[in-house]
Structure 1
Amino acid sequence: MGKKKIAVLFGGQSSEHVVSCVSAANVIDQIDKEKYDLLLIGITEEGHWVKADSVEDIRSGAWRESKVDVVISPDATRKCALITENGVTREEKIDVAFPVLHGLYGEDGTVQGLFELAKIPYVGCGVLASAVSMDKLYTKIIVDTLGIRQAKYVPVMRWEMEKDMDIPVAAVETHFQYPVFVKPSNAGSSRGVNKAENRKELIAALKEAAKHDRKILVEETIVGHEVECAVLGGGQKPVKASGVGEILAAAEFYDFDAKYNNAESRTVIGPELPGNSAEAVREAAAKIFNAVDGYGLSRVDFFVTNDGEVIFNEINTMPGFTAISMYPMLWEAAGIPKPELVDRLIDLAFER
């Protein structure tokens, strides 16, 4: 049997473009080259799809200068990429796709819809799970039905702010005392997330979040351990939850800069947590993954208070695969090395 062709997509039009490139390079390093031939598809921040020649070009950024255009055909009878070079277009068959795309237009169901149309197997959650998990407001609405505690929240719409900023500000101040957290409903890697200590900071944070999305969440402040749990499986495969990892943010909270640019931020696998909260996190992670119709993989994030209460924060359906990313580290600690993890995720794509 010959090798199968895997298309790895990276980059994208989201604020997490750079993180996606780093994740993709690490995923590509772990793909079994005895089993798969690679087609590397980079998507620029402007939305231009090009063919990358190598993982080195992804790491250096040289792929953005590629003159070879590539798109995936939505035609289900062809299951291919259309590659255009020097004005000549050819077809290249695709057996499976790995969209290592974070954030909007990659983790939100849009590219998953393209693979569904094309009938190309793909790694990760489907259209529904991707869409509702990307949208923090709708995730919260689903989790509300599970009896799992989550941060109290007030939704704010951009149009409400534009009409009269005093109305959403009053709604927040009626529900919460300062400080509060303000975050776009659809954004990843803590982009557009700010802490507000007073009304002036709240207004500034709302305006910043509105640059990223028309729906905004304002949440109560939770004091506790920030922890994450990795989930793997779905369909006929039982859903497995990893152990728990804790984030020790160098900044006041785990924003984009603390996550990717501050070497003082650390992650701890198997931290000391109060009571049986670690097991409660694992149970809640699997329950939430199933409730959103998850498949393949997700990372589910929680707070654990000092008295052991578990509070859901958010779910990420295409978690990072960077050197500091918790998802692969948690499975490695559970005895699944990165090459085996990537292989399992691709196998799940074929099984769907």
Structure 2
Amino acid sequence: MKKLVLDTCIAFLGRTISQSEFRVKNGKTFVKDELYYRLNVRPNKNMTASTFWETFVHKLIYDNECLIIQSDDDDLLIADDFQHNEYAVFEDTFSNVTVKDYTFKRVFKQSDVIHLRYRNERLTPLIDGLFTDYGDLFGRILSSQKRKNQIRGTVDMDMIGAKSPQHQAKLQEFIDNMYKAIGEKDVAIIPQQPGFKYSETSGGGTTGQSVDEINKVTNGFFNQVAMALGIPTSLVYGDMADIEKQTKNYMLFTINPLLKKLADEANVKFFEQEEYLSGQKIDIKSISYQSLFDLATAIDKLISSSGFTGNEIRLEAGYEPSDDPNLDKHYITKNYTEMNKVEGGDEQNDGEN
């Protein structure tokens, strides 16, 4: 039950992150170079980008930290094991870095790797503590359910002449073979024996817990783990009520902070301070959860209120600015009247209507 819940929640996060686009930005333009290709298509020789980022999320949450190194041929590799050497005033290092069956001989510096921690404390003790309580309750309900549906049998025997150890041993062997036949075969034929009578009763009464109670305990444990990971349970269950609101909260408070951590680490790894300040950086575009109609309505309000130009909206939405000079102008009212050219009585009145 614990593995099922953890794998379900982690896979949900991994699928969301893997749909993001990692874009290399240079000022106001986006560059599609080798770095872009490795982050979005083929990080290394053995993984696609979607598999790579799903593995990254799985490792990050299970171990509470994940290390990505760059090999000599610029492949991005997720470390399966490593030793983190922490220092107070010096740069941390990573030694004994192992990827699959290969252990790197060299020591990696913090500035040369992408190293993320999921949270301040490991999630595993919390999950184990929850499972101790829920697992005990789950086991008790399951045991009660088994006893409720158990089939019980009785054997009446005439013990006259059956007191010798040899006779009792043969009788016990006969009983064991009979029980084995009843338990394993669809049709069991039992020979009648003098002084021996077998009868069967069903234990299926009205007492005990139902299967629904087992499902409630499983769902309760699932809800606690999902809450710890910041996943609305309605999304995982597939509920359609308020799905856009739940998705918005999920993206805002769970996915975007994780992408921000990853972007910060990537910018430190791939760009120097001067390059970053000049506009070169990794910009991660998450999947859109708004419908095209709602997005168009929001853009329409932003532009028609003169607060933003069309190109400013394009940059905020993650697209390159257009060469159309009209998208660099401010407009007001639903008629998109140009502000800096509306002067005089008639034109001003038309613009205000």
TM bracket, shorter-chain basis: under 0.3
State TM-score, norm by structure 1.
0.27
Structure exhibiting the larger radius of gyration computed from Cα positions: 2
Structure having the larger proportion of residues in strand: 1
